[in-house]
Amino acid sequence: MPSHTPRTATDAPADPFPVPGRPSRLDVAGQLLALLRDTTTEPRPDDQLEALTLAVAADLPVLLWGEPGIGKTAALTQLAESLDLPLTTVIASVHEPSDFSGLPIVGDDPAEQGIPMAPPDWAVRLVRAGRGLLFLDELSTAPPAVQAALLRLVLERRIGSLQLPPGVRIVAAANPRGSAADGWELSPPLANRFVHLQWTHDHDVVIRGLGGTWPRATLPGLDAGNLPAAVDHARRAVCGLLTARPALVHRLPSGETRRGGAWPSPRSWDMTIRLLAFANAAGSSREVLSMLVRGAVGDGPGLELLAALDRMDLPDPEELLADPAGADLPERGDRRQATLDGVVAAVRRRPDRSRWDAAWALLVRALETGAPDLVVVPATTLAALRQEDWDVPESIERLAGVVALSRRADLSQERAAARTGVTAGAGR
């Protein structure tokens, strides 16, 4: 009985006798792979991609946080191609600290010349190219010693004695500790050097991308005539908030996990000013602005800054009272509500018959151009400011029905809630 398994036809080596001029089986497989890799891009609104390109344009280090397999590396590859930047990928966790701080090289006379720190080959290639996108992948798997060595690279762009050129941008990617292989929390000094962006997958983008068309990453167009105003607006917003809330200037989180993310410091507020200026000059949406601001200083301080920006962008109540017929009220509901509240507050501070009448005219204009429920509270407050010798303007008649209807709706809701509570109590 033979000691080996008989060979079948399928076990025969591929193309044992290739025919000249005929492609081999591997050649055909290569053609199929080329077709699968043949994808295209299209201009498509994508908030997180726009936030990434804005931060890159602002020359700030960016850290993409996301679960494995959702396309962080693919997005960086496509971004480098779109910006025509050579991509250099460095897996931080497989390197030693000396790979980022430089390897000591002994010269002819160390006592006279010292011992220079030689940079790695990828850094030399970046300097020779004069530009590029440095991608630090798997950052959350780098041990603390490697993270410490990365501090100078990320902030000062220095590796040993080598200075990276201004044309080099730095983007990193990391998985949350729970889904990272031997994951570590980022050290607070390293985390505070990045703009943290949460990277998630969009169902429609993924489906269309798997079909062969992905969104295109393009640098935002900046309005050259708006640059000084954008810088001034950004500085006033941040300085105004920190003047009113000095505790936000520097607030190191207490938890280890939160220290490895975005938190406020003078460094990250300086980054925020830069991001605000770029977003204003590019005319970015509020969603993109929110991603950038919260990615620099954290959710709480970031939301406070966004609220402060809304207040800055509101119309001046005194200008509205001076010309109620030509008033341009904000379209967004929350901003319109804040504007009307500001107008009523201005009348309360300096009550005057003409100002009171102008405020009613503004409420009527708001009723005609927006949601009626937004004028209920301002109208009720404004009515309480009436003095005895002030005649009731005709415009109040148009608002009286809205206020009464709103009160009846609130009363009905309270009665329904009371009935529900009684029924639930009887059921027990």
- Would 322 be classed as within a structural domain? yes
Query: Nearest Cα to 186, choosing from 177, 178, 199, 195?
Result: 177
Lookup result for tokens 């119309």: 315
- Would 330 be classed as within a structural domain? yes
Give the domain-ending residue among 287, 313, 339. 313
Query: Nearest Cα to 341, choosing from 371, 312, 314?
Result: 314
Residue 395: its pLDDT value, please? 67
User: Across-strand partners of 89?
Assistant: 135
Compute the average pLDDT of residues 201-212: 85
- Would 11 be classed as within a structural domain? no
- Would 17 be classed as within a structural domain? no
Question: For the chain, how many helices (H) and strands (E)?
Answer: 19, 11
Query: What distance in Å separates the CA atoms of residue 35 and residue 28, rounded to the nearest whole number?
Result: 11
- In the predicted model, is pLDDT for residue 414 greater than 80? no
- Would 83 be classed as within a structural domain? yes
- Residues in CB range of 301: below 8 A, 6 or more apart: 248, 251, 264
Residue 218: its pLDDT value, please? 79
Note whether 242 and 206 are same-domain residues: no
The SS3 assignment for 231 reads helix
- Would 1 be classed as within a structural domain? no
Q: What is the CATH number of the domain that holds 82?
A: 3.40.50.300
Query: What distance in Å separates the CA atoms of residue 10 and residue 30, rounded to the nearest whole number?
Result: 21
Judging by beta carbons within 10 Å of its beta carbon (0-12, 13-18, 19+), is residue 8 exposed, middle or buried? exposed
75: number of Cβ within 10 Å = 22
Query: What letter does residue 14 receive in the DSSP assignment?
Result: S
Compute the average pLDDT of residues 180-207: 85
Least confident residue range of 142-156, 342-356, 362-376, 385-399: 385-399
Range of the domain at 72: 42-103+116-215
Note whether 196 and 171 are same-domain residues: yes
Q: What Cα–Cα distance (Å) separates residue 296 from each residue in 24, 28, 65, 264?
A: 54, 49, 13, 7
Least confident residue range of 53-57, 183-187, 320-324: 183-187
Note whether 60 and 182 are same-domain residues: yes
Note whether 292 and 341 are same-domain residues: no
User: Across-strand partners of 174?
Assistant: 65
- Would 9 be classed as within a structural domain? no
Note whether 234 and 346 are same-domain residues: no
Note whether 133 and 241 are same-domain residues: no
* Better-predicted residue by pLDDT, 396 or 319: 319
Note whether 181 and 269 are same-domain residues: no
Mean pLDDT across the chain: 83
Question: C-alpha angle 379/382/385, rounded to 5°?
Answer: 155
Note whether 92 and 146 are same-domain residues: yes
Note whether 70 and 193 are same-domain residues: yes
Q: What Cα–Cα distance (Å) separates residue 58 from each residue in 50, 101, 166, 177, 369?
A: 12, 25, 12, 28, 39
The H or E element containing residue 171 is strand 167-174
Note whether 305 and 291 are same-domain residues: yes
Compute the average pLDDT of residues 13-24: 63
pLDDT, tens only, 303-325: 999 988 888 878 888 889 998 88
Residue 405: its pLDDT value, please? 45
Residue 263: its pLDDT value, please? 96
Query: What distance in Å separates the CA atoms of residue 360 and residue 398, rounded to the nearest whole number?
Result: 10
pLDDT, tens only, 251-304: 999 888 889 999 999 999 999 999 999 999 999 999 999 999 999 999 999 999
Lookup result for tokens 């809304």: 310
Phi–psi pair at 390, nearest 5 degrees: -95, 125
Note whether 187 and 250 are same-domain residues: no
- Would 152 be classed as within a structural domain? yes
399: number of Cβ within 10 Å = 23
pLDDT, tens only, 214-248: 888 777 888 888 899 999 999 999 999 999 899 99
Note whether 337 and 232 are same-domain residues: no
Give the domain-ending residue among 286, 313, 340. 313
Residue 223: its pLDDT value, please? 87
Compute the average pLDDT of residues 184-204: 90
Compute the average pLDDT of residues 59-68: 92
* Number of domains forming the structure of the chain: 3
To the question of pTM greater than 0.85 for the whole model, the response is: no
Tokens standing for residue 337 = 């509500």
Query: What distance in Å separates the CA atoms of residue 253 and residue 175, rounded to the nearest whole number?
Result: 20
pLDDT, tens only, 97-113: 888 877 777 666 666 66
Tokens standing for residue 62 = 């960016």
Our measurement of the distance from residue 310's CA atom to the centroid of its chain's CA atoms, rounded to an integer in Å, reads 18
Compute the average pLDDT of residues 363-374: 83
Give the domain-ending residue among 165, 187, 215. 215
